[in-house]
Amino acid sequence: MTVAVNAHGQNIKEDSLKYNLHSWSVQGELDPKVITKAEGIYFWDAEGKRYFDMSSQLVNVNIGHGNQKVIDAIKNQAEKLPFIGPAFAVDVKSEAAKKIIEVAPDNMGKVFFTNGGAEGNENAIKIARMVTGKYKIFSAYRSYHGATYGAANLTGENRRFPSEPGIPGFVKFIGPYTYRAPVEFKDEEEATKYYLTLLREQIEFEGPDKIAAIFQESVVGSNGILIPPKGWMQGVRDLCDEYGILMVCDEVMAGWGRTGKWFAIDNWNVKPDMIAFAKGVTCGYVPLGGTIVSKEIAKYFDENKLWCGLTYSGHPMGCAAACAAIDVYKEEKLIENSQKMGKILGEILEGLKEKHPCVGDVRYIGLFSAIELVKDKETKEPLVPYGRDPEGTMKKILLILKSEGFWNYSHDNVLIIAPPLIIDEIQLKEAMDIMDKVLEFVDEIIK
Residue 2 pLDDT grade (very low, low, confident, very high; cuts 50, 70, 90): very low
pLDDT 10s digits, 153-200? 999 999 999 999 989 999 999 999 999 999 999 999 999 999 999 999
pLDDT of residue 272: 98
pLDDT of residue 4: 46
Q: Are residues 414 and 315 in the same domain?
A: no
CB 38 within 8 A of CB 60: no
Domain limits for position 51: 33-63+333-446
Q: How far apart are CA 380 and CA 359, in angstroms?
A: 10
pLDDT of residue 3: 41
The phi and psi torsions of 222 (rounded to 5 degrees) equal: -60, -30
Q: Are residues 290 and 239 in the same domain?
A: yes
Omega cis (within 30) before 385: no
CATH number for the domain harbouring residue 289: 3.40.640.10
CATH number for the domain harbouring residue 379: 3.90.1150.10
Q: Are residues 107 and 42 in the same domain?
A: no
Q: How far apart are CA 161 and CA 205, in angstroms?
A: 25
Q: Are residues 195 and 269 in the same domain?
A: yes
CB 111 within 8 A of CB 326: no
Q: Are residues 342 and 433 in the same domain?
A: yes
Q: How far apart are CA 251 and CA 292, in angstroms?
A: 10
Better-predicted residue by pLDDT, 29 or 5: 29
Q: Are residues 283 and 417 in the same domain?
A: no
Predicted TM-score of the model (pTM) = 0.96
Q: How far apart are CA 289 and CA 279, in angstroms?
A: 7
Q: Is the pLDDT of residue 87 over 60?
A: yes
Q: Is the pLDDT of residue 98 over 80?
A: yes
Percentage of the chain lying above the pLDDT 90 cut: 97
Q: Are residues 247 and 303 in the same domain?
A: yes
Q: Are residues 226 and 97 in the same domain?
A: yes
- Which residue among 316, 331, 346 closes a domain? 331
Nearest alpha carbon to residue 402 among 25, 22, 45: 45
Question: Domain for residue 307, yes or no?
Answer: yes
Residue 224: partners with Cβ closer than 8 Å, 6 or more residues away? 142, 177, 363, 370, 372, 411, 412, 414
User: Quick one: which H or E segment has residue 50?
Assistant: strand 50-53
Question: Domain for residue 226, yes or no?
Answer: yes
Question: Domain for residue 23, yes or no?
Answer: no
Q: Are residues 305 and 346 in the same domain?
A: no
**For residues 234-247, average pLDDT:** 98
Q: Are residues 291 and 371 in the same domain?
A: no
Question: Domain for residue 20, yes or no?
Answer: no
- Which residue among 285, 314, 331 closes a domain? 331
pLDDT 10s digits, 294-308? 999 999 999 999 999
Q: Are strands 136-140 and 211-217 parallel, antiparallel or unpaired?
A: parallel
Q: Is the pLDDT of residue 7 over 90?
A: no
- Which residue among 289, 307, 331 closes a domain? 331
* Averaged pLDDT of the chain: 97
pLDDT 10s digits, 404-446? 999 999 999 999 999 999 999 999 999 999 999 999 999 999 9
